[in-house]
Amino acid sequence: MPVVATERYGSLESWKYQLKDGVMERERVGGNGGTTGKTIIGVFKSVFLPQGYPESVSGDYLQYQFWDTLQAFSSSLSGTLATQASLRGVGVGNQEATVAAATITWLLRDGTGMLGRILFAWLKGNKLDSEAKKRRLVADVLNDIAMFMEILAPNCPIFFTLIVCSAGIFKSIVGVAGGATRAALTLHQARRDNMADISAKDGSQETLVNLAGLLVSLILIPLVTDNPLLTFVLFFLFTILHLFANYKAVRSVVMETLNEARLAIVLHQYLRDGRVLGPLEANHKEPVFLKFRRTVPIQLGVRLGELVYTSEDLNLAMKNNHKLFLIGVKRDHWELVHESHKLIDQVFQPFLKALEVAGWQTSRTLLDWNEWRVEWKKKSS
């Protein structure tokens, strides 16, 4: 029978249309239409995975979501233990406790958390795009510290309010950093301008995980009530699982845009042997923990006045420079700047082409630019 047309639903289904006695018939390619099990799996995918999966998302989506789901589950259980401890600390079950005292403690905790959220967004908001992996991992570490403080607080009644307020500040930072870095990762995962769909399905996945955590918590609560030792042991185990899953989650992300860390890794390799690392290799080498060793500070988009103070400085800065930008130093090392210009002239264009061949996105970067821009005036005749 002649095949009139073929169609497919992403990589999940393929069908062909044939004419038989003047009637159009539809036949599944490679199967007879599926089974009940496949139908259930299909429904599950349509509910919890973005439309068009796997073509509509990045290649690291499934691995990241697996580890993210595991860390969310362990965090949900830890949160249950912390919530129980907080409620016990404010006087739930204690006849001598007053509603007013508990309410004041809760309001102070929420108030300090709000202030912490504003301050963190002001101080570190511009770093959340360029350092999404690192900030995501730091946020989860702070989340575990905050929950540990809440569990510890009832055992220190004198400092209870101070401890829960400090934990509230940490949790507010977690809220800002976690939400912002999640948005950055969603942008990376979206391959069909489907950020909203990915975000919505991520919310569905998280809700399902929290529901599972709630069911397990119903079993845990009777066991840990009035048993501080078991509470600490379980929290310690859940925290280890949470941190491990978070580490694996951020390590599984393969971003094709260059931030400062990935650019340094790629550029060092290129200057060493002329080879450009692909996104997979560079992402695996990218540090995801905070560095405490001293590094050379590099700032992009700074004020011209921070680099040039006199006409002599300007002449030295523009020597051998025919570019729209200016490389400068805060000390008198202009000879190094001149050598940098020569190196850029030699390697930049070949390096840029090699980046594109290796699979990097060069149309945008995550290099944490400041907003200062200079417009050079043409010299008068």
CA dist 236 to 126, 140, 228, 231, Å? 33, 14, 12, 9
Please name every residue paired with 27 in a beta bridge, in sequence order, or none if there are none. Answer: 16
Per-residue pLDDT at 351 = 93
Give the residue extent of every domain in the chain: 3-48, 61-252, 260-358
For 69-78, write each residue's pLDDT tens digit. 999 999 999 9
Q: What is the DSSP letter of 178?
A: H
CA distance 7 to 212: 38
Convert the pLDDT of each residue in 297-349 to its tens digit. Answer: 778 888 888 878 888 877 877 776 777 677 776 666 777 787 787 888 888 89
Alpha-carbon distance values, 125 to 117, 122, 339, 368 (Å): 10, 6, 35, 11
Structure tokens at 321: 């420079």
Residue 378 pLDDT:
65
Phi, psi (5° rounding) for residue 315? -65, -40
Position 380 scores a pLDDT of 43
Query: What pLDDT score does 35 carry?
Result: 46
pLDDT for position 91: 57
DSSP single-letter state for residue 276:
P
How would you class 47 by CB atoms within 10 Å of its CB: exposed for 0-12, middle for 13-18, buried for 19 or more? exposed
The pLDDT score that the predictor gives to residue 236 is: 94
Place of tokens 């590099």: 298
**Residues present in the chain in total:** 381
Helix or strand run (H / E) with residue 28: strand 23-28
What is the model's pTM?
A: 0.82
Edge-to-edge strand list for the sheet holding 13-20: 3-9, 13-20, 23-28
CA distances 121 to 114, 129, 167, 252, Å, are 11, 12, 17, 26
What fold is seen in the domain 61-252?
Answer: Growth Hormone; Chain: A; (1.20.1250)
Beta carbons of 139 and 180 less than 8 angstroms apart: no
How confident is the model over 57-67, as pLDDT tens digits? 999 999 999 99
Q: What are the tokens at 114?
A: 């709000």
* Residue ranges for the chain with pLDDT beneath 50: 32-37, 93, 380-381
Helix residue ranges, H only, 18-92: 36-48, 61-89
- Give the tokens for residue 239: 């925290």
**Interstrand relation of 23-28 and 3-9 (parallel, antiparallel or unpaired):** unpaired
Report the C-alpha gap between 368 and 297 in whole angstroms. Answer: 13
Describe the crossing of helices 61-89 and 132-152 by its angle, rounded to 10 degrees: 20
The residue with tokens 């068009």 is: 52
Return the pLDDT at 25: 82
**Sign (positive or negative) of CA dihedral 296, 302, 304, 309:** negative
Inter-residue long-range contacts of 60-66, CB under 8 Å, 24+ positions, other chains counted: 60/189, 60/252, 60/253, 60/254, 61/189, 63/252, 64/185, 64/189, 64/249, 64/252, 64/253, 65/202, 65/205
Helix (H, G, I), strand (E, B) or coil at 373: coil
